[in-house]
Amino acid sequence: MLDIGKSTTKPFIYNYKDQEGSCKNVSLDIRIPYDDCLDELVTQVLSKMDPMMRFLDENAAIKRGLKEFIDVENQKFRDEYADELLEKVRNNDIDVEEIIRDTERHYKEELIQFADRIGPTDEDIFAQSFHRLVHSSQLEEILKKERAYAKVIASITKEMDKEVETLNNSQQEEMESKINQLDITTTPEDINNLLAQQYSTQNFVRKRYESELEAKIGHQKNEYRQWITSQVSELFQSSPVSTPLGNRSSMFISQQPSMEESFTIHLGSQLKHMHNIRILSANVNDLCSPLHADESLNGLNMALGLYSSSLCGVVVLTPSVQAQANKDIIKNANMSTEFHFNQIDDQLEKIEQQIRQLNLLNSSSTPSIGSTEGGEKDVIVSGVINPSVQSSASNSPVKTSAKLKTGDFFITKHSNLSQSHVIFHLISDEPINSPSEINSRHPVILGLRNILKTASRHDVTTLTIPALLRHEMSEDMTVQWCMRRAELVFKCAKGFMIESASWGGAELSTLQLLLPHDISEELFNTLASMVPNVFRVANPKILVDNSK
């Protein structure tokens, strides 16, 4: 068969006159066929000429000569190649079928290189592999590996916090010493210079640790994903061993709240739906604590539920006047690598971009994000396509320039928090020390409705909401005010749950009513006693045999 990749070398001779009018020439060997850039050849020819010719615009003439030479020689080469190929065909010295196969192979390679990828993505392959492994005997190995990874990240984070704290203390002492010597041995300029130096030093320390954390997280994530996909083929070559599902509710008692009471209710006028109602007193940050911070929290339920249709969500109130979401939740999510989704900062940056785009498109005519009937269509809400497959974290800064209003909410997704796959960050600007009276049309209540609607459509079957729309108690929150607020939230939640039957999607199986962690036991019991009055509690039926 003819060697398709063969080539030949031809000399290119360029005749010219130098600055003195003398006739000269240069020669350059060029490999034919030549299909690359001519500028490189022009430079090689100029390098062989008198340096003065570079300033006489000789390069344009050289380029024209090279183009004519290469065009002619390329055509000659292809003609000779074609003649030789035809001669071999006439003499039966060439395998036409082999040429056809080679042509087909080259065509497929070219098509695959530039065509859209068809089939599962790397994310899909990883998700499917993890879902299969987590329901096999490998579950314990997965949790051990995640726990080991988390310890490394937590260790680096704690080391950073400790060094920054030590640096802050030493810098504060140094600054106080300088201030005490002001106008004696120290000038205001010296203090400003010291302040700039301290800021630079502290920023350097933080950046050094952040760079180390970023590199370590990226390495862990790649290594973990490769390990998961490699384990699938090895595992299913042998007979798989099923892993028991366990009790889904056990994830909520691994960190015991101070007070808790549960009810079973039936909702619906004709078709009854059974739901679990749990009222509890706890810190909202405890529901979003690091997954592997405590050895007793093995993460089994969270891992089993991650790619299922039974996700857990938590509603966290976020004031719009702050420049960032809950700092404690951000810190908790950063205590370990987010293996299944983007890291929190990347995710929140994307949320900020989406809000900016929304503000540019709908600066004055569009209703508030997440607070309208079409809130689920908003880019911030609809950007979370399916919390059971994708997950991003929302706990990094969301700038006030985003112009979020009361009742708006943004969603973040997590796989490394103890009791929440999805966090709904609901904007609420109610003053802490002056609780107000609201009604069922208040933006925050409408925001809760849209959260329940979004949860129903995205397989969130366990949802925790703040029963008083407050995470902490204050002196102005009287017993009567708490009872009125709780009754409003209970009744609205009941109405939204009944309405959700017509929305389609997953049915909310468990609703957790979260009360502030510092609530008194007497007030907790009072509010808990209101649940059976608002919701229809399922009473047990006692069957009596009258024949005896």
What does the pLDDT read at residue 381? Answer: 39
- pLDDT, residue 138, reads 87
What is the per-residue pLDDT for 168?
92
**Model pLDDT, residue 323:** 41
Give the span between the Cα atoms of 276 and 526, in whole angstroms: 19
DSSP output for 63-81: HHHHHHHHHHHHHHHHHHH
Per-residue pLDDT at 321: 60
What was the pLDDT predicted at 258?
A: 65
In 3D space, the residue among 3, 28, 10, 1 whose CA is nearest the CA of residue 75 turns out to be: 10
Packing angle of the helix pair 122-134, 188-235 (nearest 10 deg): 70
- Stated as kind and residue range, the H or E segment containing 523 is helix 521-534
Instruction: Please report the pLDDT score of residue 450 as a whole number.
Output: 94
Could you report the per-residue pLDDT of 103-159, keeping only the tens digit for each? Answer: 888 888 877 777 766 678 888 889 999 999 998 888 889 999 999 999 999 999 999
Flag residues of the chain having pLDDT under 50: 1-2, 244-254, 323, 366-401
The Cα–Cα gap between 218 and 221 comes to 5
Residue 76, φ and ψ in degrees, nearest 5: -60, -45
Residue 379 pLDDT = 38
Confidence at residue 164, expressed as pLDDT on a 0 to 100 scale: 92
Long-range contacts of 93-96 (CB under 8 A, 24+ apart): 94/1, 94/2, 95/1
20 phi and psi angles, rounded to 5 deg: -95, 0
The structure's pTM equals: 0.70
CA-nearest of 79, 70, 94 to 3 is 94
